[in-house]
């Protein structure tokens, strides 16, 4: 079985929102690389696709496990995908470190985007859903995704990295469109506005 086999039809799960305790706590390492884990991975891929995201951490479906999935382009628009358990991210230091200031959003705080500077390259190491070692080199949006999702597994949401002023702007955006996102979104689809 390969990762592509887990990217088919899983079950769409509700996305957990910021403020829920699991979103702000350190996750537990994955220790059982079994069918239950792979079912969760399949469900996470399906949920991410339904929400039109590029990455999804287990905390975002209410599970306190050190696991995320991704389907995301890099700086050259090459799409990468996979599932990483127990990830560690490293970014360049010194003269090799270059920051990219871009809009960032989060499926667990839907409808809001705010600029956040992150290193434009990242290396993520961990293991796949079968317990085999994996390393992903990310540039561009993929680098941002690897950092964002690993943050989730450490109990950090990207709003924690914003200034108080930027966080207020982000929260105002989210509040303005909150009525479009049902509590169980994306199980129930995003509501349409009158002009869409």
Q: Is 149 a catalytic residue?
A: yes
- Mean per-residue pLDDT pooled into runs of 10, the chain (196 residues): 91 98 98 98 98 98 98 98 98 96 98 98 98 98 98 98 98 98 97 69
Spatial separation of the C-alpha atoms in residues 61 and 58, rounded to whole Å:
5
Using the CB atoms, write b or e for 150-172: b if 16+ within 10 Å.
Answer: bbbbebbbbbebbeeeebeebbe
* pLDDT for position 196: 47
pLDDT at position 8: 86
Pairing mode of beta strands 121-127, 79-90: antiparallel
d(CA 5, CA 13): 19
d(CA 5, CA 16): 25
Residue range 3-177 forms a domain whose CATH class is alpha beta
Residue in 25, 96, 149, 154 annotated catalytic: 149
Q: What's the rounded Cα separation, in Å, for the pair 86 and 72?
A: 19
Distance separating alpha carbons of residues 48 and 106, to the nearest angstrom: 11
What global pTM score does this model have?
0.95
CB atoms within 10 A of CB 8: 9
Q: Specify burial of residue 59 (Cβ count, 10 A radius: 0-12, 13-18, 19+).
A: buried
């Amino acid at each position: 079985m390969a990762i592509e086999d887990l990217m088919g039809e899983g079950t769409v799960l509700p996305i957990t929102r910021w403020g829920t305790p699991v979103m702000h706590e350190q996750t537990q390492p994955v220790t059982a690389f079994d069918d239950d884990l792979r079912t969760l991975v399949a469900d996470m891929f399906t949920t991410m696709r339904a929400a039109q995201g590029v990455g999804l951490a287990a905390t975002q479906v209410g599970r306190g496990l050190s696991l995320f999935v991704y389907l995301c382009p890099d700086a050259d628009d090459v799409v990468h995908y996979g599932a990483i358990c127990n990830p560690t991210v490293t970014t360049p230091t010194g003269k090799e470190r270059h920051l990219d200031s871009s809009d960032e959003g989060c499926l667990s705080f839907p409808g809001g985007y705010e600029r956040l500077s992150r290193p434009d390259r990242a290396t993520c190491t961990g293991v796949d859903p079968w317990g085999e070692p994996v390393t992903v080199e990310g540039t561009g949006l993929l680098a941002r995704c690897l950092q964002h999702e690993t943050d989730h597994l450490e109990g950090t949401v990207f709003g924690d990295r914003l200034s108080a002023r930027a966080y207020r702007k982000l929260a105002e955006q989210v509040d303005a469109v909150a009525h479009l996102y049902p509590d169980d979104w994306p199980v129930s689809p995003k509501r349409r506005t009158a002009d869409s």
